[in-house]
Structure 1
């Protein structure tokens, strides 16, 4: 995945004076959660607090601070008709001109958050596995692409961790609690073995196996023959099936990634501080599209 802390460090190093914009309080509906931050320079921008008029106003205030020399400012913004948004909530923002220590603190905080990212294991580096890696690399997860075949791993171009593993069951068994597992190897027997291994952990956030309704039935029957086999109630097989019948790898991957991310974010989406742990939006303000909440 994109190492966001490194990208932020580069942004802060190559740009001039920077204003840090942070959501310090959120009441009601808001495009982003409390703790979300964005960094503004005279012409550059890193991160987002949700787009739309809220972000536009914050950027304008930040750049006015850079021009006037003001060091800090507070904003209290109702997200309603007054600014052309319809969220209905209210947010408070803190805008601070950053010093060296503040920059180091932001980079360190982001690096610490990155260490807590959920792990997603893509077990198989074939066409769909590589398509999954291509999409996961842009999301706030630590993606690991695993295959027994070095030549298939070599075809991967995504910025994810890769492993050539002779015994991929070990990668599943040693994964952190709460990991997600997507099983799609070149061998149905290996798929069954790895899926069973993931289900037996009992702490996986998501377990999915590529295939069909028929393959799911065969797996269920195979599991019945195993002693003390875990339930397959929460197994996603086929992966990405709820969205489309399209069989192209990129389409299958898109719907499978949506399934995985829905599970990984279902418990924390409403309350967890967001920071800026995601593929960053970096650029000039006038190049960006407003997003109304």
Structure 2
């Protein structure tokens, strides 16, 4: 991950001064990759840099900084010698204190980790060349970071058991912008995961043109006719990937009907059906885990394996 200003701003608004702990670099085996971060405030924290002794040390340092009013710190920790962890590698951490009015307004960003001064030329060059999502770097004792890459759109059609399970599994994962559609407000659970956009719509297929053409779609409604209409709308509009819940028999019928609507076999074959992985079981949570794993594992190019209910 790179710099998530929105998440940091929300934590500062809720808890006051916050220390962000950032993994700047790793060597050898380490719990998390460079760019991973967590937030620590007095009495709480969010995120993780890997748990265990490393995270305990990081949190203790962060709380000490909050108590003392320190702004920044950095340290390279050999996980074996320093913390008795079995990873065997080393992690370089940076701690930064943020409070209201101290968040950067523009990204990428560069911040001195020692006394402030004129930005060195090497830092300015690194800053100008850093794309979104790039790994953070320390250049001449300045921390240089990029913004997060644009979140990938996932549109989930249907708020039944599988739809709820999919959203609950996918919502905590970074880099996703989830839009959730069903027929009416009472179709959705009372508590919707943070960051998920809920849209009640009497005619869901009419919303398809609002989806980005590079979005991923999961069609999971209770109504086969609605599923078919959504597949037709998705094929007409365009998508990065599309998964339809159903049996092999259902998909054979849908292929015939979509062909009758004018779609080519090659285009129809881009819809993945059935979804899930029978080796995991047919429970909605198991289906959701299988679908999420496929999205993560294959770069969102496919989300099917075997049969779902």
Provide TM-score, normalisation by structure 2. 0.66
Deviations 1:14-48 (A, max 9, x none): 54654332222234443333232223234332322
Among 120, 142, 157, the residue aligned to 2:154: 120
Equivalences for 1:1-293 in 2 at 5 Å?
Answer: 8-9=8-9, 11-13=11-13, 15=15, 17-67=17-67, 70-80=70-80, 82-103=82-103, 116-140=150-174, 141-147=176-182, 149-150=183-184, 153=187, 157-159=191-193, 160-204=196-240, 206-229=241-264, 230-246=266-282, 248-263=283-298
Contact 2:212–2:239 under 8 Å retained in 1? no
- Deviation of 1:263 after TM superposition, in Å, equals 4.7
CA pair 182-97 structure 1, distance change in 2 beyond 3 A: closer
Bigger mean CA offset, 253-262 vs 169-178: 253-262
Distance 1:220 1:133 in 2: 27
Distance 1:185 1:192 in 2: 10
- Deviation of 1:223 after TM superposition, in Å, equals 3.8
Distance 2:78 2:89 in 1: 6
Alignment root-mean-square deviation, CA: 3.7
Contact 2:235–2:263 under 8 Å retained in 1? no
CA pair 113-74 structure 1, distance change in 2 beyond 3 A: closer
Distance 1:57 1:95 in 2: 12
Distance 2:268 2:82 in 1: 51
Listed as ranges, the gaps of 5+ residues in structure 2 are: 110-145, 302-309
Contact 2:20–2:95 under 8 Å retained in 1? yes
Listed as ranges, the gaps of 5+ residues in structure 1 are: 267-293
CA pair 71-7 structure 1, distance change in 2 beyond 3 A: closer
Q: Pick 1 or 2: higher relative contact order, CA cutoff 8 A, min separation 6.
A: 1
Write 1 or 2 for the structure with the bigger share of strand. Answer: 2
Distance 1:261 1:189 in 2: 29
Contact 2:213–2:238 under 8 Å retained in 1? no
Contact 2:18–2:39 under 8 Å retained in 1? yes
Instruction: Report the number of matched residues.
Output: 258
Distance 1:169 1:250 in 2: 26
- Deviation of 1:100 after TM superposition, in Å, equals 4.0
CA pair 14-168 structure 1, distance change in 2 beyond 3 A: closer
SS in 2 for 1:102: coil
- Deviation of 1:212 after TM superposition, in Å, equals 0.9
Distance 1:164 1:18 in 2: 36
- Deviation of 1:126 after TM superposition, in Å, equals 2.9
Bigger mean CA offset, 11-20 vs 29-38: 11-20
Distance 2:257 2:160 in 1: 24
CA pair 84-200 structure 1, distance change in 2 beyond 3 A: farther
Distance 1:18 1:183 in 2: 40
Contact 1:118–1:264 under 8 Å retained in 2? no
Distance 1:29 1:196 in 2: 47
Contact 2:41–2:63 under 8 Å retained in 1? yes
Q: Which residue of 1 aligns with 2:307?
A: none
